[in-house]
Amino acid sequence: MAEAKLKESAKAKMAETTDPLEKLRNHCLSQGYSGILSLGKLFRRLDKDRSWTLSRDELARGVSQFGLKLSDDDINKLFKQFEKDGKADINYEEFIDAIRPPMSAARKTAVEDVFKVLDKTGDGVVTIEDLKGVYSAKNHPKVKKGEMKEEDLLKKFLNLFESNSSVDGKVTKQEFFDYYSGLSKAIDDDEYFLTVVKMSWGM
């Protein structure tokens, strides 16, 4: 299973690296496709005043709540990588963007195209109901191999966005990319990734 291999590989890399950003990235990936999505949601939840920024203490608290133990020195290194002009806060969307494993241009375009179709109003947000009405799990590798039923996978996919999310049931473009960056890391072949993404959304 690709997700199981992703988790194992990330755990091994996390034990090897001394770089705090790499540790956090692999800690996310060790939780599977949705790890980066979960971290993004946690940071957005911590941002109670909707400033799109986190203080050094909020960053430390978020990392700790996410289950990763980093030293004060590592937290300082992390913060300084994203600190601009000596400001007391960092932009956490830039932070999450740096944690996402890089995707090829073709993969980014595919995910962007899907989101554009879902985001009919162009405001960068779609609803859970929008996803429910379009997403198809029948071509997902786990369904095709008989490892999961289509209905169960659909519920699992939707729950990724519903759990710990805002009460209005909305999915942001950032959250959409957070999920697919985790999935992308587990799929080596560009063509296969594009097929999985496009067929899932009937494109």
> In total, how many domains does the chain have?
2
Residues 115 and 35 grouped into a single domain:
no
90, 77 contact by CB (below 8 A) = no
- Contact of 101 with 25, CB cutoff 8 Å: yes
Instruction: Give the residue numbers spanning the domain of 58.
Output: 2-99
Among 40, 67, 99, the domain boundary falls at 99
Contact indicator for 104, 187 with CB cutoff of 8 Å: no
Write the CATH number for 20.
Answer: 1.10.238.10
Per-residue pLDDT of the chain (203 residues; tens, 9 = 90+): 678 888 899 999 999 999 999 999 999 999 988 889 888 888 888 887 788 888 889 899 999 999 999 999 999 999 988 887 777 788 888 888 888 888 999 999 999 999 998 888 888 888 877 887 788 777 777 788 888 887 787 777 777 776 554 445 788 888 899 989 988 988 888 999 999 888 888 77
pTM (two decimals): 0.75
Last residue of a domain, one of 48, 70, 99: 99
Last residue of a domain, one of 67, 99, 131: 99
Q: How many CB atoms lie within 10 A of CB 64?
A: 12
Q: How far apart are CA 201 and CA 193, in angstroms?
A: 13
Query: Nearest 5°: phi and psi at 55?
Result: -80, 170
